[in-house]
């Protein structure tokens, strides 16, 4: 590892240099000219694949962030419950294959590599492998749709770290596909699965007015939330992160209404809620918590709850444990009928949407011609100055952004 760690806590933002993209050199938020990317880099979170991986994996995730051991043990228990295996790596193998198939179908002759932030195959090794095969212009795709330190910038820092630790920073360029929270391919599977859930509950005789839809996403520290998105834009107290979730959830509910799946007479109430909080109790994180809200619903005369994992791409541990175990238990205790809807996974609409995003970037489609379903999009190709910065982590070099 080069000098990265010693640079990490300087006051001066080292930010993107020397990992600037062509677009960032001009300061433009969107790609200005088509780029002949020679490989796609699918960047996942990573997860353990056996009991012996659990603790080393958790140490990787929390490296340098002061998560107490108590909390690690608590989380380890969730993984141990499932044999120490997170399904997230298998999901990413399937997603990689599905994207490759769709690229082939469209005649786009570009290989797709997969690497993780926190477990093997590590991004470092993947970047080395791609470079050894002669690829020098990689288009990164992080498995995370929204803007925040954990869901965007940290992936960019990991790209930068991978380039520096492999000594490839001057020969390999990694750009990153824009955050895709409001891209049709990401939203469509949610519209479909929430629609199915509402239909099911209606068939069971539960009036729409007695159903609540909870759109659940990963909580983050309110400090991170406030700093999510470009430094010079105001998205309200929850920053771009909360605003993006609110906008997507609202779009889904409007779509269900316009598609006739919800009648005007008795609309289900809906809201965005947060899950999987960690960190010290003294540190404020985004609220309300999904389980807290579920236990309050009977007092609001709800009979049923639809839990929508809006913040997640696949049914990994945060979904399997925090929703399918804990939130479902909370619903049972509250006497509520509950349905947890599907994540996008390898839904054909999602896979097509991802390849649309790849094509859009390769062709440098003008922003006004890009598909987006909320007023917040289309999000930027090149992260803006100070985007999603994290003052706790300090400034670290990050690829695929503009100079501050
Ligand atoms: C916004 C966000 C996403 C969504 C975006 C994205 O998908 O990237 C996400 C995804 C995920 N988070 C995951 C797992 C963990 N996250 C942790 C900790 C944290 N997550 C945070 C935020 C997020 N996390 C934050 C602010 C922390 C606190 C510590 C820190 O500042 O980083 C910890 C440490 C223990 C704990 O504190 O709970 C673990 C084990 C897994 C893998 C699941 C599997 O293995 O199946 C996935 C996909
Ligand atoms: Fe997380």
Shared domain check, 100 and 193: no
Shared domain check, 240 and 210: yes
- For ligand 1, is residue 193 a contact (CB within 6 Å)? no
- Average pLDDT over all residues of the chain: 91
Shared domain check, 152 and 123: yes
**Structural domain includes residue 382:** no
pLDDT at 403: 65
- Tell whether the model's pLDDT for residue 4 goes beyond 50: no
Total-model pTM: 0.93
Ligand number nearest CA of 216 is 1
Shared domain check, 198 and 256: yes
Per residue in 225-268, pLDDT (tens digit) is 999 999 889 999 999 999 999 999 999 999 999 988 777 667 89
As a three-state string, the secondary structure of the chain is CCCHHHHCCCCCCCCCCCCCCHHHHHCCCCCCCCCCCCEEEEEECCCCECHHHHHHHHHHHHCCCCCCHHHHHHHHHHHHHCCCECCHHHHHHHHHHHHHHHHHHCCCCCCEEEEECCCCCEHHHHHHHHHHCCCCEEEEEECCCCCCHHHHHHHHHHHHHHHHHCCCCCCCEEEECCCCCCCHHHHHHHHHHHHHHHHHHHHCCCCHHHEEEEEEEECCEHHHHHCCCCCCCCCCCCHHHHHHHHHHHHHHHHHHHHCCCCCHHHCCEEEEEEECCCCCCCCCECCCEHHHHHHHHHHHCCCEEEEECCCCCCCCHHHHHHHHHHHHHHHHHCCCEEEECCCCCCCHHHHHHHHHHHHHHHCCCCHHHCCCCCCCCCCCCCECCCCCCCCCCCCCCCCCECCC
- Tell whether the model's pLDDT for residue 356 goes beyond 60: yes
Shared domain check, 40 and 162: yes
**Structural domain includes residue 267:** yes
173-188: average pLDDT: 97
Q: How many domains is the chain partitioned into structurally?
A: 2
pLDDT at 108: 97
- For ligand 1, is residue 60 a contact (CB within 6 Å)? no
**Structural domain includes residue 379:** no
What's the pLDDT band for 15 if we cut at 50, 70, 90?
very low
- For ligand 1, is residue 71 a contact (CB within 6 Å)? yes
Percent of the chain past pLDDT 90, that is, above it, reads 80
Shared domain check, 191 and 119: no
- For ligand 1, is residue 47 a contact (CB within 6 Å)? yes
Shared domain check, 188 and 176: no
**Structural domain includes residue 125:** yes
Shared domain check, 251 and 168: no
**Structural domain includes residue 43:** yes
- Tell whether the model's pLDDT for residue 11 goes beyond 60: no
Shared domain check, 152 and 12: yes
pLDDT higher at 71 or 166: 166
Shared domain check, 325 and 352: no
pLDDT at 162: 95
318 known member of a binding site:
yes
**Structural domain includes residue 128:** yes
**Structural domain includes residue 78:** yes
- Tell whether the model's pLDDT for residue 91 goes beyond 70: yes
**Structural domain includes residue 244:** yes
The domain spanning residue 154 has which CATH number?
Answer: 3.40.50.1400
358-365: average pLDDT: 97
Per residue in 274-320, pLDDT (tens digit) is 999 988 889 999 999 999 999 999 999 999 999 999 999 999 999 99
pLDDT at 12: 38
- Tell whether the model's pLDDT for residue 147 goes beyond 50: yes
Shared domain check, 236 and 130: no
- Tell whether the model's pLDDT for residue 6 goes beyond 50: no
Shared domain check, 174 and 122: yes
Which domain range does residue 242 map to? 184-340
């Amino acid at each position: 590892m080069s000098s990265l760690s010693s640079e990490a806590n300087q006051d001066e933002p080292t930010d993107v240099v020397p990992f600037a993209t062509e677009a960032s050199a001009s300061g433009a938020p969107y790609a200005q000219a088509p780029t002949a990317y020679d490989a796609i880099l699918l960047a996942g979170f990573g997860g353990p694949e056996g009991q012996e991986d659990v603790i080393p994996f958790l140490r990787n995730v929390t490296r340098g962030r002061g998560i107490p051991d108590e909390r690690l043990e608590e989380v380890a228990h969730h993984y141990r419950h499932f044999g120490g295996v997170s399904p997230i790596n298998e999901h990413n193998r399937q997603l990689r294959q599905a994207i490759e198939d769709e690229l082939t179908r469209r005649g786009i002759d570009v290989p797709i590599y997969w690497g993780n932030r926190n477990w093997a195959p590590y991004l470092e090794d993947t970047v080395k492998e791609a470079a050894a095969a002669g690829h020098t212009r990689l288009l990164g795709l992080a498995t995370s749709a929204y803007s925040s330190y954990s869901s965007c910038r940290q992936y960019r820092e990991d790209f930068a770290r991978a380039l520096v630790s492999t000594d490839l920073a001057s020969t390999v360029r990694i750009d990153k596909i824009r955050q895709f929270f409001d891209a049709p391919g990401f939203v469509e599977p949610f519209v479909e699965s929430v629609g199915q859930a509402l239909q099911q509950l209606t068939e069971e005789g539960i009036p729409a007015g007695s159903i609540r839809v909870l759109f659940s996403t990963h909580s983050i520290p309110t400090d991170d939330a406030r700093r999510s998105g470009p430094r010079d834009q105001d998205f309200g107290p929850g920053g771009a992160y909360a605003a993006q979730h609110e906008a997507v959830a609202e779009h889904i509910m409007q779509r269900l209404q316009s598609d006739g799946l919800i009648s005007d007479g008795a609309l289900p109430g809906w809201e965005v809620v947060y899950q999987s909080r960690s960190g010290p109790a003294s540190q404020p994180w985004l609220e309300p918590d999904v389980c807290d809200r579920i236990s309050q619903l009977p007092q609001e005369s709800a009979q049923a709850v639809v839990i929508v994992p809006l913040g997640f791409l696949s049914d990994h541990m945060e979904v399997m444990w925090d929703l399918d175990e804990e939130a479902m238990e909370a619903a049972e205790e509250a006497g509520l009928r509950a349905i947890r809807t599907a994540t996008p996974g390898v839904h054909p609409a999602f896979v097509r949407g991802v390849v649309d995003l790849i094509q859009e970037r390769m062709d440098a489609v003008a922003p006004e011609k890009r598909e987006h379903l909320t007023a917040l999009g289309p999000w930027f190709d090149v992260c803006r100055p100070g985007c999603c910065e994290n003052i706790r982590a300090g400034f670290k070099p990050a690829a695929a952004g503009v100079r501050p």
